[in-house]
Each structure stands twice: as structure tokens, then as C-alpha cells.
Amino acid sequence: MSFYSPKFIRPNVDSCIDTERLNELESEQELARFNGHSELSLDVQRQQLPIFKHRSQMLYALETHRVVVVVGETGSGKSTQLPQYLWESGWTDSKHSICVTEPRRIATINLAKRICDEKSCILGDEVGYAIRFEDCFTPGRTKVKFVTDGLLIRELMQNPLLPQYSVVILDEVHERNTNTDIVIGLLKKIMKKRHDLKLIVCSATVDAEEIKLYFDEGEKNKNSNNLSTCIVSVEGRYYPIEISYLTEPCDNYVKASVTTAMAVHFDQQDNDGDILIFLTGQDEVDEAVSKLIEKATELKSLKKKNFKKLWILALYGSLPVSEQLKVFERTPKSCRKIIVSTNIAETSLTINGIVYVIDSGFMKLKAYDSRLGSESLITVPCSKSSANQRAGRAGRYRSGKAFRLFPETEFQNMKQHTPPEMQRCDLASVVIQLKALGIDNICRFDFLSAPPSKNLVNTLELLHALEALDHNSKLTNPLGFQMAEFPLHPTYSKALINAEKFGCAQEMLSIIAMLQVQHVFITPSGRKIQADKSKLKFTCTEGDHITLLNVYKSFTDKLSKNKKSLANWCQSNFLNFKSLVRASQIREQLRMILRKFKIDMSSSCGDRTEPILRCLCTAFFANAATAHYSGDYRHLKSNVSLKVHPSSVINLFLANVDLPAPKYVIYNDIVQSKTTYLIRDLSVVDCKWLHELVPNYYEFGTDREIRETNDKRLKLS
């Protein structure tokens, strides 16, 4: 077996490492080994966390201040210990509990479980959690409740002053995702009305002064010490990490990550320690996982004694929670775990036993294009602070190694921090949620980092066109309010609610649910021809939405089969079983919301697809494009050039000279590569429908576009 091993220059110990603690911790290391201090009692583990020394200081700070900003490296004990300190010192009673927000579902569940272990209590009783569509807590009994930050916004819609909580702990604020930023803004507002509410803001890297200034602003003149903010810093706990860089940039970091992982595995045969690889998204993670599985199988066939087996796991946000939780399972002694992850494992998760980190140096970031009025994910170099966080994952249980798959000069050129999501994302969900909370003047909302005004204006225009807002920019009743209740982008909720009018609610439920999952079709390596042929069974000339509907219908026709034969059916049809199961769960959840609104879900469209496509037009009209003589598409509103994503069934037309390219399409999603915009999930529509269904939006644009396109076509012919 031969594999290419990238060359590294070494060593370059990172400045974030607390080398002074090394000797002190060597003996702990012997005891603790890799699997999470497993030999130490949980009580002892709690007391050894860096935050333990600050227990009294924290409690005193909270007594004397309304807002406490806690800055401490990942693993110092913020998320697991702070809620327990508050609970132990009487901050809860039968009417008030402590709420801890997390940006991610998996961290929310995992932390609640961890506290239950530490407190020897049952999950859902005194310690619980709530994530979208899943409650695991007992009102009146639960003292510590973990929730995703998105869920706290939903709770705020029900109870704007959050009377059920005495303290809210906002965790992982350094991630600066949109929901966290909204929650911060809302809590600042609430705290002006609820003087007994306390707030703890936790962060691994954030500029604490920025948060302090934000909360203190407007309070200075009130002459009250009680309203001020204070900062408590907790030192990190790291063993030294040896950082290696590539001597030259690599062409393919996915491939390089696999070869590096295998090289580490061979080099370190005599040493324990799991490997964590950081890539950018599901595609790359899946690709690396299947390559590693191939390598692991080859290794097995060598039957070399003493060679540790490899246990390969993927980790990304859209993976079902049960799959995600596997990364926390203890690694058997005869095994080495390799976790291939997106930046989900960067800060919010504590995975025990990681000793080697392999960092691609890239991440996927949301970027909003105001011309197209939509956001897309772009792959960009990560920031210095992300790279340091990633490397830090290697030094939790003993000294570790981080392999950066880029030269040191590239690290020096990286930005210090990633810009907050609020400034680069689609704001439609943000605006509709704030409006539902009664914040009508969004421009005057006290954002920690205000979004660009152009993005806000675009968003308001879209929400008006979707009829979610009236001429006073207030939510329409009932449509706007109903749209705000769906945990979906407003365009999707509009399509669902409107389906009643077009008699296609059942079909729309299936389509919208299918659009929430990724990778419905699978193409195993070396079997592209068979996979493409199989896809044709579901494909139709109307485009991807109806194709997805066909897949879902075929899947549900087989639902009476047992799980194994259903999975086999999916496999033989090159369909992703897990994605389809997830889609059926999401469909059910969406159906419940429609039922709550008493929306008629009977379908009358039969085999006709036009009502479905018309209904899609009423929601996705802003994403309409027209065929251009160059062979590409042009965004109808902005004239930006768009290409059809290779995964779309529309390519069948484009590849076949006998079939004309569909003149008008609507699409759901844009993927941005360096120079092109690729549109995904397309349906063929009639431009008359756009005129008819959204006359105000396309009053001028469409006719001009048709004329221009026709003129150019004529010239060409």
C-alpha cells in the first residue's frame, strides 16, 4: 500500500498554550488517559476544571451585576459548571429556572446529558432540554434547561418577558450567529423591563469589552451600580500542541487530509489518541469518510497484528442527532477513532480523546448577495481564531499535534476573526421573527452588529411581495403571523400556506420537506452511469421539485416494508435512506403546524402539476431566471448570470440538442463557486404565471427581459 504523505515543517508551538500547567498535569494525564478523565470521579473532574477556582467570584459577580461576561477557552467548564453553580446556590425555585442557550442541537442535548451524569439525575426531570420539535423537560420541576438559541426566540414569542427564567446563560457567543445576536438584542430590551433577570454571556474568544460596552450603553446615566456589566476571565486548560504546516499549498485538501490521517495512524501505532479532521461541508466530509473507510478495509485485510482498527465517523449539522452523538462514544482500546467534521467541532463540542487535529484551513460561510436577494454558502479560508480553536481540540487530554494543510504564510494572511453572520446573511427569517415579537422598526433595533441597510431594504421588499407585511410594514394577519411561526425561511412557509388555495397541500408538504434535506440522490464512486440511469425513473420535464415529489411518493408507497427492505430499496434506487427518513419526519412536523392553523390539507390536483408549480411561483418568484442565448440563465430581476447546478434534472434539457432549454425557471438555492453562481432545485414555469401571481414584483422587469432576450436571439439567428 502506498500513500502520499504531505511534508510538514515543525515545530511551532502556538502561543495559546499554557505550558506552565504541563508538569502539574502530567500526573493527571496518567490517571485520566484519553477517554474523558474516565478514571476520575465526576466530582473530582468538576473540581479540576479551571472554572472551579472562580466559583465564588462568579456568584458574587452575578449578585452585584445584571450582566456577567465570562471569557474562557473551550473546556474550561463554562457550559457544564455555571448552570450547576447557580442551581446549587439557590437561583432557581418552583417558578424560575436557569436557561442555557446553545447554537447547536447536538450541544444542547449533550450538555444536558452531561449535567445529568454529574448530578446523578434523570434527563428531562431537574435538568432538561428543548430543541426544535423536541421537548425533554418538566415545567415546574426542571431547574436547568438547555435550549437552542432559535428555540429561545420561539419561547420569547409566547412569553416576551421570559418570566419562567431567573438567569439566562448565552453560550458560545463568539460564534456570533444570527440567532445569538437576536437573542442578545432582545435580552437587552427585556432586562430594561425585568429588573430581576440576570444574564451571563459566555464566550471562548469574543472581545468581552465589546459586549460590556453594548450592555452598558444607555445605562451610564441611570446612576445605579446594579445595572452594570462585569467581565470574568477563566484561564484555559491546554497541554502543548505541536503545530505543523505544509511547506507548500496542497491542491486537494480532502485527499491530503486522508493521507495525513493515515500517516498519523501508522506513525503513532504505539500511541493512543483519536484524530479529528476539519473540512468544510457534508460533501467533503462524506468523500473523506468513504476514502478512509476504503483505507481501513485495506488495513484490515493486511491482518497485521497489533495494528489498531480504525473507526471512522462523520460529523456535520444536518446529520441526524443520533448519528452525531456517536462521536462521543468511548473509543475501544483496540481502536482509533477518526472523526471527519465541519467546523461544528470547532468550539461547541467537547469530544474526549482527540490528540491529533488535521485542519484544511477552510470553512463554509454564508454570504448574502443583495443583487440576487439570496445567500449562498461560499468556501473561504478560515480566520486565525478558528484555526487556533481547531488546533486547540488536540490539546485537551495530553500534548497533541495539529497538522495544518496550508503553509504558515497563509496562516499569517488569515483574518483575525470571522465577521458576524448578521452582516452577511439573508435577513428574511430575522425580520419576520422580530416583527412577530412586536419590533416593528427593525432599523432601530439595537443590534450588537447592525446588518447592512441594503440587505434590510431588500428583505423588507421581499416580505412585502410575499404579503407577509402590510403597507405599514406590520405583519399581515393571519398570513404574516403564520409564516413567522414556521421554523422555515418565509418563502417556504408561504408555499406551504398558499398550497391550500391551489389544492396541493399534500404535495407541497412533501416537496418542502424534501427541500430541507440534502443529498437525496447518491452516486457511489465508480457507479455514476447506473446512478444516473436510476435517477431517470423519477425525473420529469417539470424540473427538480416534481422529481423530488416523485421520489417521496415512491418512498412512501414502500413504507409498509420493514426498515431493512426499505433501506435496501433506497440503496438499489441510489437514494439516500437517511435523508428520506428525515424528510418524512420533517413533513410530519410541518403538517402539525398547518393543522394548528386549520389549513385545509386535502389535495385536489390529482396528477396535474400546474397547480403545484403555480403555488411554487407565489413563493419563489424572486428566484426566477430566464434562458439567455449564451446558454446560461439570467436572474430576472438583476440580470446576473446564473448556471444550472450539475445535480439539476434541467441539465437533461440542456444536454439534449433536440429539446429547447426551458425559457423560465424558478429555483431555491444558489451555490457560489469562485466565479459562477450555480442554481439548484429548479422548476420550469410560465412567465405569464409570474405576471399573474406577483404582478407588483414583476410589473416592469419581465417584459423588458423577454424583449431583450428575444432581440438577442433574433440577432443570433
To ligand CDP, the closest distance from the beta carbon of 119 in angstroms equals 13
Give the CA distances from residue 482 to residues 170, 472, 486, 487, 596, in Å, rounded to whole numbers and listed in that order: 28, 18, 7, 11, 10
| Count of CA atoms in the C-beta half-sphere (13 A) of 256 | 21
Closest distance of CB 16 from ligand CDP, Å: 14
Element of type H or E holding 79 = helix 78-88
CB of 100 to ligand CDP, least distance (A): 10
Least gap, CB of 123 to ligand CDP (angstroms) = 12
Degrees, nearest 5: CA angle 371-375-377: 130
Our CB check for ligand CDP shows the closer of 80 and 493 to be: 80
Kindly tell me which of 173 and 599 has the beta carbon lying closer to ligand CDP. Answer: 173
* Residue 78 or 188 with smaller CB distance to ligand CDP: 78
Nearer to ligand CDP by Cβ, of 173 and 289: the residue is 173
Closest CA to 167 of 198, 193, 140, 126: 198
Cβ-based nearer residue to ligand CDP, 77 or 480 = 77
Shortest Å, Cβ 236 to ligand CDP = 9
Please identify, using beta-carbon distances, which residue of 37 and 587 lies nearer to ligand CDP.
37
* Chain residues in the site for ligand CDP (CB under 6 A): 36-37, 49, 72, 74-81, 110, 114, 350, 352
Given the complex with ligand CDP, which of 36 and 487 has the nearer CB atom?
36
Query: C-alpha grid cell for residue 159?
Result: 412569553
For the chain, how long is the longest CA-to-CA vector?
81
Q: In angstroms, what CA-CA distances link 83 with 195, 400, 601?
A: 20, 30, 44
- Looking at the Cβ atoms of 75 and 103, the one nearer to ligand CDP is 75
Dihedral angle over CA of 88, 89, 91, 95, nearest 10 = 60
Q: Which of 231, 240, 612, 539 is nearest to 402 (CA)?
A: 240
Spatial distance between the Cα atoms of 708 and 199, rounded to a whole number of angstroms: 57
- Pick the closest to residue 344 from 327, 367, 332 (CA basis): 327
In 331-436, DSSP assigns E strands to 335-341, 354-359, 362-369, 374-381, 400-404
Reported for 383-388, long-range contacts at CB under 8 A and 24+ positions apart, including other chains, are 383/414, 383/415, 383/416, 383/417, 383/418, 384/411, 384/414, 384/415, 384/416, 384/417, 385/174, 385/205, 385/416, 385/417, 385/418, 386/343, 386/346, 386/418, 387/359, 387/361, 387/411, 387/414, 388/14, 388/16
- Kindly state the smallest distance separating residue 110's Cβ from ligand CDP, in Å: 5
Nearer to ligand CDP, 76 or 493 (CB): 76
- Nearer Cβ to ligand CDP (74/92): 74
How many other CB atoms are found less than 10 A from the CB of residue 473? Answer: 14
